[in-house]
Amino acid sequence: MVAILFALQAVYDSLALWAASIVAAFAVFVAGVVTAARRPRPSEDAARLDELEPLRGRDEDGR
């Protein structure tokens, strides 16, 4: 919401400032996508942990 208001104000103030805010917002978006893509997925993380320390088998009581 604040970003929208800032963008609207920037349009009235300066076209260059408006363009800079759009570029900055896009850069933040791309950084978020790259960060999410580099993070290990939960299943990959669990498989890695299982290799280090396998879970004990459970008995009939679930213990």
Q: What's the pLDDT tens digit per position in 11-60?
A: 666 777 778 888 999 999 999 999 988 876 777 767 777 676 666 666 66
Residue 33: per-residue pLDDT: 94
pTM for the whole thing? 0.46
Asked whether residue 11 is domain-assigned, the answer is: yes
Q: Is the CB of residue 19 less than 8 Å from the CB of residue 11?
A: no
Range list of β-strands (E), the chain:
none
Asked whether residue 23 is domain-assigned, the answer is: yes
Asked whether residue 44 is domain-assigned, the answer is: yes
Asked whether residue 63 is domain-assigned, the answer is: no
Say if residue 9's pLDDT is above 70. Answer: yes
Give 8 or 3, the one with higher predicted confidence: 3
Asked whether residue 31 is domain-assigned, the answer is: yes
Asked whether residue 57 is domain-assigned, the answer is: no
CA distances (Å), origin 63, targets 13, 24, 49, 55: 66, 53, 20, 12
Q: What is the DSSP letter of 31?
A: H
Q: Is the CB of residue 17 less than 8 Å from the CB of residue 10?
A: yes
Residue 61: per-residue pLDDT: 64
Residue 59: per-residue pLDDT: 66
